[in-house]
Amino acid sequence: MAKLVDTFSNIFKIEELRKRIGFTLLVLLIVRVGSHITLPGINVVALKASMANGDANSLLGLFDMFVGGAFSNAAIFALGIMPYITSSIIFQLAGVVIPEVAKMQKDGEEGRRKINQYTRIFTVVVAGLQAFGVSMKLINTTVQNSGVSVVYDPNLLFIISTMTLLTAGTIFLMWLGEQITDRGIGNGISLIIFIGIIARLPHAFAQEYDIIANGVRHWMFEIILFGMLAGIIAVVILMTQAARRIPVQYAKRQQGKKVYGGTTQYIPLRLNTAGVMPIIFAQSIMFIPQTVLSFFPDSAFIITLSKFFSYQSFTYAAMYAVIVVLFTYFYTAIVFNPKDIADNMKKQGGFIPGIRPGKPTSDYIDGILTRITLPGSMFLALIAILPTIVSRLFGITSTFASFFGGTSLLIMIGVALDTLQQIESFLLMRHYDGFMKSGKIKGRAGSGGY
Supply the CATH number for residue 57's domain: 1.10.3370.10
Distance of CA 50 to the CA centre of its chain: 28
Q: How many domains does the chain have?
A: 2
Residues 167 and 289 in one domain: no
DSSP state of 156: H
Instruction: Give mean pLDDT in consecutive 10-residue pieces for the chain, a chain of 450 residues.
Output: 66 82 93 90 81 55 70 84 85 81 80 88 90 86 76 88 93 92 88 87 85 83 89 89 86 64 78 82 71 62 68 77 89 85 83 86 91 90 86 80 82 86 80 56 50
Domain boundary among 161, 184, 199: 199
* Domain membership flag for residue 216: yes
Residues 166 and 68 in one domain: yes
**Cα–Cα distance for residue pair 157/155, rounded to 1 Å:** 5
Nearest to 275 by CA among 388, 142, 394, 418: 418
Residues 133 and 186 in one domain: yes
* Domain membership flag for residue 280: yes
Give percent of the chain with pLDDT exceeding 70: 81
* Domain membership flag for residue 1: no
Range of the domain at 94: 16-199
pLDDT digits (tens, 9 = 90+) for 405-439: 877 888 888 888 888 888 888 877 766 655 555 45
Provide the pLDDT for residue 336. 85
Residues 432 and 333 in one domain: yes
* Domain membership flag for residue 2: no
Residues 148 and 205 in one domain: no
Strand partners, 264: 249
Residues 101 and 215 in one domain: no
Domain boundary among 199, 224, 252: 199
Nearest to 65 by CA among 325, 306, 401: 401
* Domain membership flag for residue 7: no
* Domain membership flag for residue 10: no
Provide the pLDDT for residue 91. 83
How far from 44 is each of 52, 158, 167, 199, 208, CA to CA, in Å?
12, 15, 21, 20, 27
Q: Are 278 and 311 in contact (CB under 8 A)?
A: no
| C-beta pairs of 364-372 under 8 Å, 24+ apart in sequence | 365/246, 365/267, 365/269, 365/338, 365/341, 366/338, 368/244, 368/246, 368/269, 369/269, 369/273, 369/332, 369/336, 369/338, 372/244, 372/269, 372/271
pLDDT digits (tens, 9 = 90+) for 295-349: 665 566 666 676 666 666 778 788 888 988 998 988 888 888 888 888 888 887 7
Q: Round the CA-based radius of gyration of the chain to a whole number and report it.
A: 24
Distance of CA 374 to the CA centre of its chain: 21
Domain boundary among 199, 218, 248: 199
**Cα–Cα distance for residue pair 55/306, rounded to 1 Å:** 14
* Domain membership flag for residue 62: yes
Residues 328 and 425 in one domain: yes
Nearest to 226 by CA among 62, 2, 383, 394: 394
DSSP H or E stretch at residue 254 = strand 253-255
Residues 210 and 175 in one domain: no
Residues 165 and 24 in one domain: yes
Dihedral, CA of residue 33, residue 36, residue 39 and residue 43, to nearest 10: -150
Residues 296 and 332 in one domain: yes
Provide the pLDDT for residue 446. 42
Q: Are 68 and 80 in contact (CB under 8 A)?
A: yes
pTM of the model: 0.80
State in Å, rounded, how far the first CA of the chain is from the last one: 31
Distance of CA 9 to the CA centre of its chain: 30
* Domain membership flag for residue 440: yes
Contacts with 198 (C-beta within 8 Å, 6 or more apart), sequence order: 412
Residues 132 and 255 in one domain: no
Main-chain dihedrals φ then ψ at residue 297, nearest 5 degrees: -75, -20
Residues 182 and 206 in one domain: no
